[in-house]
A and B are shown apart, each in its own frame.
Chain A
Amino acid sequence: GAVVSQHPSWVICKSGTSVKIECRSLDFQATTMFWYRQFPKQSLMLMATSNEGSKATYEQGVEKDKFLINHASLTLSTLTVTSAHPEDSSFYICSARDGAGVLETQYFGPGTRLLVL
C-alpha cells in the first residue's frame, strides 16, 4: 500500500527556535498533502492543505506566518514551525492524497511529536 513517512518522529527544541518537519510519499506522487495537529485525547485538527507548486490553504485560525508550508515536489512537503513556543508543543501529522480514482484516499504519516521547552 501507499506509504507516507515523516521526519523527525520526535523533536525537542528551545523556545524561539524554528523546527522543520518533513512529509514524504514514498511510493506514489501526492498532488495534495494535508497537515494536521492533534492534542492529547483530541481529534485531528486540519491546519492546512498544500498542493504541489502552489501556496498552501490555511484553515481559519491557523497563522500562516507561524506555520510555513512548502510543497515543492510531488513527494515532499515541509512544515516549519517558526519561533516555536511551548504552546506549539503538539503531535503533528501529515497525510498525502494520490489523486487517483474517484475517491481520493488520504494516506497518513506516523506523526511528529514536538516539545518546545
Chain B
Amino acid sequence: GNSVTQMEGPVTLSEEAFLTINCTYTATGYPSLFWYVQYPGEGLQLLLKATKADDKGSNKGFEATYRKETTSFHLEKGSVQVSDSAVYFCALGGVTGANSKLTFGKGITLSVRP
C-alpha cells in the first residue's frame, strides 16, 4: 500500500536559516505529492503540490521537486521566517475517483527563533 515517511522532528532553526524537510514515499502507480502546513490553532492548508515526475511545486518561498528515481519530495526554503513556525505534513494521493484519498506522513514541527 501507499506510505509516506518524513524525517523525525522537531526542527528548530534561527531566522534566515536554510530549511530542508525530507519526505520519501512508497506508492503504486503515479501519485500526486503534496505538502500541507498547519499553523497553530488552524486547519491544514495546502502549501504546494506536484502531479508528475520532475515537477516542482512552489509557494511562499518553499519548493519541492517530485523525484521519481529516489521516490522523494523534499521541502526546501532558502531563508525561513518566524512566521513559518508550524507543523508540515507530506502527503500523497491520486487524482480522482478511488485514488483520491490522501496518505499523510507523521508531520514535523518547525520552530523558527528570531
Contacts and interface: CB of A to CB of B under 8 A. Distances in A.
Interface stretch (B45-53, B64-72, B73-81): B45-53
B36 A41 contact: no
Interface string B75-107: 000000000000001000001100011111111
B102 A105 contact: no
B32 A49 contact: no
Q: Do most interface residues of chain A lie in helix, strand or loop, or is the interface mixed?
A: strand
A78 interface: no
Contacts of A111: 43
B95 A102 contact: yes
B41 interface: yes
A37 B4 CA distance: 17
A89 interface: no
B101 A110 contact: no
Contacts, number: 47
Given A103-B51, A110-B41, A46 B101 contact: yes
B: interface residue count bin: 20 to 34
Contacts of A32: 100
Contact of A43 (B32, B41, B105): B105
Contact of B49 (A6, A34, A97, A103): A103
Interface residues of A, number: 23
B44 interface: yes
B102 A46 contact: yes
Nearest to A2: B46
A4 B46 CA distance: 13
Contacts of B32: 103
Interface of B: 4, 32, 36, 41-46, 49, 51, 89, 95-96, 100-107
Interface of A: 4, 6, 32, 34, 41-44, 46, 49, 93, 95, 97, 102-111
17 contacts: A6-B43, A32-B100, A42-B106, A43-B4, A44-B44, A46-B103, A93-B44, A95-B44, A103-B32, A103-B95, A104-B95, A105-B49, A106-B102, A108-B43, A108-B45, A110-B41, A111-B43
